[in-house]
Amino acid sequence: MPETLSIASPSAVAEPALFPRNTARMAISILLTVLDSWVVIALGGTLCHVSAHHPVRLTGIVLLFVSLFASLARAWYLALPVRSN
């Protein structure tokens, strides 16, 4: 069998980062929180009034907001530092 050359992946090579990873994640989480808050405040009431007597539309809007908050929770989970005991 011929020998294959081992090539290091780009993540294994140490490169200086412009911003530390945790700082960038925190900034992205703050930005997402502001944008999500704006969407909920600006469009939440209107969407609920439009879909008041339409159960299918209301279910879709509820799923939309649940996915919005789930993605926000995931962003904050990744942004917060991991602490091991």
Please check whether residue 60 lies inside any domain of the structure.
Answer: yes
> Given a cut of 70, is residue 67 above it in pLDDT?
yes
Rg of the chain over Cα atoms, rounded to whole angstroms, equals 21
Read off the pLDDT of each residue in 18-30 and give the average, rounded to a whole number: 80
Domain count, the chain: 1
Instruction: Tell me whether residue 45 is in a domain.
Output: yes
Residue 66 is assigned to a structural domain of this protein: yes
Please tell me what DSSP assigns to residue 68: H
Is 1 domain-assigned? Answer: no
**Would residue 85 count as lying in a domain?**
no
Q: Is residue 7 assigned to a domain? A: no
Predicted confidence (pLDDT) per residue in 44-57, tens digit:
888 888 888 888 98
Residue 36 lies in a domain: yes
Q: What is the mean pLDDT of residues 17-35?
A: 82
Q: Which domain holds residue 64?
A: 21-79
For residues 33 and 85, what is the distance between their CA atoms, to the nearest angstrom?
A: 29
pLDDT of residue 10: 58
> Which distant-in-sequence residues (6+ apart) come within 8 Å of 60 by Cβ?
51
